[in-house]
Structure 1
Amino acid sequence: MKITDWAVIFVIIIAPVVWLGGLRAENLREVNRLETRYTSALRTAVQDAAASLNRNELQQFESGYGSSKWMRADKEQALAALLRSLSLNFGVADDLTGQQILLGYIPAIVVMDYDGYFLYTADLDLSSDTWTYRWQDKKPYTYLDASGNSIAFTLDRQVTAYDAATNRWVSGLQNEIKSEVSIPLLQNEALFDAVRRATIVRRIEEDLAQAIRLHNQIAAKLGVDYTFTLPVIPQEEWNNTLDDVGMLVFLQGIPVGDHYYNNYAFGGGRLDLAPAVIGAVDPNTGIKYYFRESCDRANAYSYREEEIFPNERAAAEKGYFPLDCRESAP
């Protein structure tokens, strides 16, 4: 055979391989783009929600009463902020069906309060085979030792403890009440802090695992072809989170390419976050603008909100123009 014949054969063999390789590379780029978009949407939503945890109208509910970490966590307001942000960034703000489908990819939401935690999950009614999403009752960070002593932990050293030896309850800071009780754990400050953190994490993870198992049954009814599992969260992330009231949100099972998006995000309720950046469209001109959530002038316009961004740069990169929010602006 001539050299040209071999060249033709080579091209015939290699061309499909090169084409498939290029197609695969393009798919990987699209998967990476989607995962980046979903992660940004999730983190932005959790930041918005966590900031809403500490928006209290009454002074007696603000932090600073008895403990620098105590405050009333407004879980309803945080949930509304979370779902609003996610709905906007996933394009289902005006689609109730789409919002329900999006909830199917959120197996659990946790609000970690000062002295306990709330879990927002789907509640399945076996008698009617229906379900509703609701907050479970608040659960304390409780610990029980082999001697029958019980301790209710908080996010700092404030505790409520039951001393089985004297059959009485005491409350106060660990280092102040340790001389009043015979509970071994309260006598060692380093051990106390380690057990406190481990107990909080274990209690939350146990309830999360149970909630996610139930969510798998509901997800199957919604047509979600994915088995939800509790991801492994590094201890370092837990340690950073247990220093403050906050929120933990899971987003799983969204198809991206030939696999599924699976992530989670923490948000602290005492973070001094700047107001969110809103991306909106003028329905009359189609021009896209961005502005801070605190922009009063934006309320005077009937702009259609499309996305929420963590900062102005992210909004500008998506083609949005800054809206002049100055009161003296024309």
Structure 2
Amino acid sequence: MKITDMAVLFVSIALPFALMLRIKNDNLKNAEYKSMILNRYLDTAVEDASNAMIVRGMDNKIFISREKAVEAFFTTLYVNFGIMHDETAKDVLKAYIPVIVLIDYDGYWVYSAESYKNINGEIIQEMVWKPKKPYFYEKKGFVYLFTLDDYVKVFDTINKVFYEGRREELTSALPFDTLICDFELFEEVRKRTIAESIKKDVNIAINEHNKYAKTYGIAYHFSPPSISDGNWQRNIEDIGILAFFQGIPVGIRGERFNSYALGAARIIRKNYYFIQQDINGIYYYHRENCPILTEKDTIYDNRRECALLGAFPCHICNP
């Protein structure tokens, strides 16, 4: 066989594979671009929801509105998708949102699919807010109701005694309680309890969502996301909205968009810190009102967290 014939044969074999790889690469890029846009839509929606849910009443008292939160969330999505006046498209888009969680100071609400009978006996299936659940933990006869900071309620089920206050304030009332007296253990259990409680209900809601999605002809199987325990705990630190967006097609080869986003209201932190590098390259942590603090990009919850990152306490604001 001549060299030219071999070359033609090679090209005839290799070219289709090259074209297939090119098409596949273009499809992947297109799917990545669509996913990036959808992530932006989702981030914007949860930020708008977290802002809308904070309602100030008389005496500047703060209230949490679930209705305003979910209304703002979906309105932002509808506007970004360009379907504000298409009711059918709105219903289909909502079917790709398996669960929304409103994280409050002392508990959380879950917005997910629910089946019930109306006054006519007809079975109705729609997304509704479930009753609020506390951050509940029980051990050795004690029931703990945690919050997003160190305020805690403790019930002694044996002696029928109720305690309430800051963890440090309760150490004198409960000197025998290791959880209350050990700051590091308290924080570990508190964060784990909050994260695991929400994670459990999110997973249940997503699994149950498959029945709801089928009514809109969505064949995609919704399943709980792969999120590490550490990421769960880091994502749940303040009052806010946690939303999951799954299953919407983004590519011609069956690619699907799966993501979640958190919008935090930033209203409960009473003591928080910021780390900043000085002119000598040394990192110091500061209070928010420190006169030499200029960088406020990342918020840290406590001094221990800052110290573990290698930062020293500022000598000006004495955090």
User: TM-score if structure 1 supplies the norm length?
Assistant: 0.74
Q: Partners of 1:25 and 1:103 in 2: how far apart?
A: 30
Q: Partners of 1:157 and 1:242 in 2: how far apart?
A: 15
Determine if the alignment matches structure 1 residue 144 to structure 2 residue 135. no
CA shift at 1:60, angstroms? 4.5
Q: Partners of 2:171 and 2:191 in 1: how far apart?
A: 18
Counting only pairs closer than 5 Å after superposition, residues 60-99 of structure 1 correspond to structure 2 as: 60-62=60-62, 72-99=63-90
Determine if the alignment matches structure 1 residue 12 to structure 2 residue 8. no
- Picking from 158, 172, 179, the partner of 1:179 is 172
Determine if the alignment matches structure 1 residue 50 to structure 2 residue 50. yes
Q: Partners of 1:97 and 1:152 in 2: how far apart?
A: 42
The answer (yes or no) to whether the contact 1:212–1:228 under 8 Å persists in 2 is yes
The answer (yes or no) to whether the contact 2:199–2:232 under 8 Å persists in 1 is no
Find the residue that maps to 2:64 and give its secondary structure: coil
Q: Partners of 1:234 and 1:61 in 2: how far apart?
A: 36
Determine if the alignment matches structure 1 residue 267 to structure 2 residue 263. yes
Find the residue that maps to 2:172 and give its secondary structure: helix
CA shift at 1:134, angstroms? 1.1
The answer (yes or no) to whether the contact 2:126–2:212 under 8 Å persists in 1 is no
The answer (yes or no) to whether the contact 1:253–1:260 under 8 Å persists in 2 is yes
Determine if the alignment matches structure 1 residue 189 to structure 2 residue 180. no
Q: Partners of 2:123 and 2:15 in 1: how far apart?
A: 54
Q: Partners of 1:37 and 1:77 in 2: how far apart?
A: 24
- Picking from 83, 94, 101, the partner of 1:110 is 101
Q: Partners of 1:213 and 1:240 in 2: how far apart?
A: 24
Counting only pairs closer than 5 Å after superposition, residues 140-289 of structure 1 correspond to structure 2 as: 140-145=134-139, 147-181=140-174, 182-257=176-251, 258-270=254-266
The answer (yes or no) to whether the contact 2:31–2:255 under 8 Å persists in 1 is no
CA shift at 1:129, angstroms? 4.3
Q: Partners of 1:115 and 1:60 in 2: how far apart?
A: 20
Aligned CA distance change for structure 1 residues 60 and 166 (closer, same or farther; 3 Å): farther
The answer (yes or no) to whether the contact 1:241–1:268 under 8 Å persists in 2 is no
Identity rate of aligned residues, in percent?
35
Determine if the alignment matches structure 1 residue 131 to structure 2 residue 122. no
Which letter maps to 1:245? I
Q: How many residues are aligned here?
A: 261
Q: Partners of 2:2 and 2:178 in 1: how far apart?
A: 89
The answer (yes or no) to whether the contact 1:51–1:270 under 8 Å persists in 2 is no
CA shift at 1:205, angstroms? 1.1
Q: Partners of 2:44 and 2:194 in 1: how far apart?
A: 25
Which letter maps to 2:263? G
Find the residue that maps to 2:188 and give its secondary structure: helix
Q: Which has the higher contact order (CA 8 A, sep 6+)?
A: 1
Match of 2:311 in 1: none
Find the residue that maps to 2:83 and give its secondary structure: coil
CA shift at 1:175, angstroms? 1.1
Q: Partners of 2:80 and 2:162 in 1: how far apart?
A: 49
CA shift at 1:233, angstroms? 2.4
CA shift at 1:128, angstroms? 4.0
The answer (yes or no) to whether the contact 2:153–2:164 under 8 Å persists in 1 is yes
Q: Partners of 1:60 and 1:141 in 2: how far apart?
A: 27
CA shift at 1:73, angstroms? 2.3
Which letter maps to 2:171? K
Q: Partners of 1:208 and 1:109 in 2: how far apart?
A: 8
Gaps of 5+ in 1: 63-71, 272-330
The answer (yes or no) to whether the contact 1:141–1:154 under 8 Å persists in 2 is yes
Q: Partners of 1:239 and 1:3 in 2: how far apart?
A: 64
The answer (yes or no) to whether the contact 2:137–2:193 under 8 Å persists in 1 is yes
CA shift at 1:183, angstroms? 3.7
Q: Deviations over 1:75-104 (max 9, x none)?
A: 221111110111111222111111111111
Find the residue that maps to 1:180 and give its secondary structure: coil
Moved more, 85-94 or 182-191: 182-191
Q: Partners of 1:51 and 1:31 in 2: how far apart?
A: 30
Which letter maps to 2:53? L
Q: Partners of 1:165 and 1:12 in 2: how far apart?
A: 82
Gaps of 5+ in 2: 268-319
Determine if the alignment matches structure 1 residue 120 to structure 2 residue 79. no
Determine if the alignment matches structure 1 residue 28 to structure 2 residue 33. no
